[in-house]
Structure 1
């Protein structure tokens, strides 16, 4: 039998829950997915997500306030990038998990037949 896990302070749980809350918005998850692969400006992110520049800017603002995304100036553009490698891991794991559960994936076929 394994030892019980260390107790988690309530403020740590609240911070972790807040991160998942930010990731629960499809647009923000999509932005982080794109930024996990390369830095981009707002216009490019808007085009790639099918959202307006205003919508993307709004969501990037929330991600910046949470410390997940940062921006640097490059000429006339703000270039956005992920500032927390742990968030990249979380996003990639979540997407990969659901990708593998989709019908037709090798994992989905394996678990259905079990």
Structure 2
């Protein structure tokens, strides 16, 4: 749970003034632990599916249930974990809670994971 706590604390930090796509830093123990926590959140097929759906835009619980086919309870529990870990944000729209990914790095990570899986499943050769 230490990793999740670190990610949740980071999610509450103010955004850096200059966001970038790349961060040329060596992976120190704190960064390795934070990255491992993110990969742990991605390691569940239902959570990964929810995150992949959110790469295409915001959605409420009902839309996510319909799209991924999991039960309301399961989707709600996964969303709570993703929210606690700082991977998704929410906003209210009337009585509905709308979920969205927190940041472009996560969207690209999810997309690359699915793209890599497509290569594995289809046998398409790797590329740079």
Q: What is the TM-score normalised by the length of structure 2?
A: 0.74
Give the alignment of 1:63-102 within 5 angstroms: 63-102=82-121
Which has the larger share of helix?
1
2-structure distance, mates of 1:95, 1:6:
26
Q: Which has the higher contact order (CA 8 A, sep 6+)?
A: 2
Structure 1, unaligned runs of 5 or more: none
RMSD between aligned residues: 2.0
- Aligned pair count reads 104
Structure 2, unaligned runs of 5 or more: 1-23
Which structure has the larger Rg? Answer: 1
List 4+ stretches of structure 1 deviating above 3 A.
Answer: none
Q: What is the TM-score normalised by the length of structure 1?
A: 0.82
Partner of 1:18: 37
Q: Name the SS for the 1:81 alignment partner.
A: strand
